[in-house]
A and B are shown apart, each in its own frame.
Chain A
Amino acid sequence: MNRLTSTHLIHAELRRLLATSLWKWGPLAAVFSGGALTILCVLVGPENFDPPMPGVDTAAGVRLVLSMIGLTVLAPALFGALAVTSEYRHRTIAYTFLFAPKRHRILGAKLAAYGIAGLVYGLIVALSAAAALYGGAAARGIEIGASPGAVAGILAGLAAAMTVYTVIGVGLGALIQNQTATLIALGAYLYMVEHTLAIIPGFNLVYPFLPGGATAALTESSLMSEAAVEVTGSATPLLPPLIGAAVLLAYALFASAAAVLAPMRRDVA
């Protein structure tokens, strides 16, 4: 009987997460991504953007403002990637695999621990965005153009998306292992490759099925789609929110499988 229980392993990973000062930056990044970005958009007003867009007194304007949060998914993805790459960088992975030589179990524990952390991050994003949306609108003396239920639904979707991106980060970190390479790959993909694909005719057909497109589907609004219309005159329609959520979940499952399988037989120098 193996005395290494999953509870012990997840407990250890949560301890590891809280043992460095990195975690303290998580809530700050979440408030910036959710609260600061949203209140900036609300106070400036999408109707004052160039080109002008629907204001937050319309449902489309609310979706547009909240969809901006989807552009900040790099933060939870990087956070998740550090779960594994930090272990390789500081060579603590040798201890970790000595204590838990069935490697899939430790990667499963990391996915669970960072899934929890990603959800907490997402909830802070959602709560701070809600406070900013309603607070900013009140400060400008305008009414929000979407029902509280609709706003809550969008924010819940975004919180779930933040969790998914954290898990994707863990998976990518396990695959690449090198910290710098993982950070560059994530940044380049999320802010260059995906954005470019969204506006290239032909390639833009796949955008709704990419992580960024699926995230945009949760808010039924995408700045990238708006950009595509500006550049090409048209944009590929986003997936329905539930289908977008299913696509994101599929990415999370794929990343989880990669995380668990990638380190199985690799030598630890």
Chain B
Amino acid sequence: MHPPHRLEIRGLTKRFGPVAAVTDVGFAVEPGRVTGFLGPNGSGKTTTLRMLLGLVEPDAGTALVNGLRYRELPDPARTVGAALEANNFHPGQTGRDHLRIYAAMIGSPDSRVDEVLSLTGIWDAAHRKTGGYSTGMRQRLNLATAMLGEPPVLVLDEPTNGLDPEGIAWLRRFLKEAAAEGRTVLVASHVLSEAAQLVDDVLVMHRGRLLAAAPLTELAAGTTLEDAFLNLTGALA
């Protein structure tokens, strides 16, 4: 069992030139639950995740994993497994080669590569070059990379993009099991119907600001997540 890891975001702000991508965003993500980070495309979800993961420098605010910034984590890839865009692969490398590179980086044996290939169901495609992968296979390879270090925290950006219905059902089971094992799971998505079947807690982003942070049962009490979301964003006529 993993020790619990809490994510804490305080006052995160980021501008790209004249565009305020994220403005004063703050929330916490608790272990043992699946937290949905919901909002339309361009609402600031990805920028917030990238600031959490040390890829983008915030103009203000902090993003902490168990009280530490991502860059300060003693063993980052064994603490946080992140799956961002599913097209970050060298097309000339096989799926197995891609995983072997990052396994070597954290000192994991090649047997761990075999484990994550089996876990994510892309064993048969492991010897093929990633340039020939479908979007769904890329998503699975993305998740396999995130799982290499057996991290207690999972941060996933639109993980169902390109997955077929079977893949989405598998991912739902996988993430619920991960949370049940005590992992902290943060999933960004703009597909509310899928999120409604997956998440325990909901964070709603709109135009770079956090509009709501609550358990799903509270936010969508007596209505659907979609209607609750549209009410919050003012889009429901």
Contacts and interface: CB of A to CB of B under 8 A. Distances in A.
Given A98-B76, A268-B50, A8 B106 contact: yes
A268 B88 contact: no
Contacts of B90: 19-20, 86, 90, 92
B185 interface: no
A2 B75 contact: yes
A99 B75 contact: no
Contacts of A268: 50, 55-56
A197 to B, nearest CB: 37
Contacts of B98: 19, 92
Contact of A4 (B57, B75, B89, B100): B75
Interface in B78-136: 78, 80, 82, 84-85, 87-94, 97-98, 100-102, 104-107
A11 B103 CA distance: 10
Contacts of B76: 4, 98-101
B75 A94 contact: no
Contacts of B102: 12, 95, 99
A267 B56 contact: yes
Nearest to A22: B92
A140 interface: no
What is the interface residue range for chain B against chain A?
35 or more
A1 B55 CA distance: 22
A254 interface: no
Interface string A86-126: 10001110111111111000000000000000000000000
Instruction: Output the residue of B71, B94, B100, B104 with the most chain A CB within 10 A.
Output: B104
A98 B155 CA distance: 12
B54 A92 contact: no
B165 interface: no
B54 A101 contact: yes
A199 to B, nearest CB: 41
Instruction: Output the residue of B50, B55, B56, B71 with the most chain A CB within 10 A.
Output: B55
B74 interface: yes
Contact of B104 (A2, A15, A101): A15
B105 A99 contact: yes
B191 interface: no
Contacts of A16: 101
Nearest to A19: B97
Contact of B91 (A11, A90, A95): A90
Interface in A1-51: 1-5, 8-9, 11-12, 15-16, 19-22
A94 B74 contact: no
27 contacts: A3-B74, A3-B78, A3-B107, A4-B76, A8-B105, A8-B107, A12-B101, A15-B100, A92-B88, A92-B90, A95-B102, A95-B145, A98-B53, A98-B54, A98-B55, A98-B77, A99-B105, A99-B106, A100-B105, A101-B53, A101-B54, A101-B71, A101-B73, A101-B76, A267-B50, A268-B50, A268-B56
Nearest 4 interchain pairs by C-beta: A12-B104, A19-B97, A12-B105, A268-B55
Given A2-B75, A98-B82, 15 more contacts: A4-B105, A8-B107, A11-B104, A15-B100, A19-B94, A19-B98, A20-B93, A90-B90, A91-B87, A92-B89, A94-B85, A101-B70, A101-B76, A265-B57, A267-B55
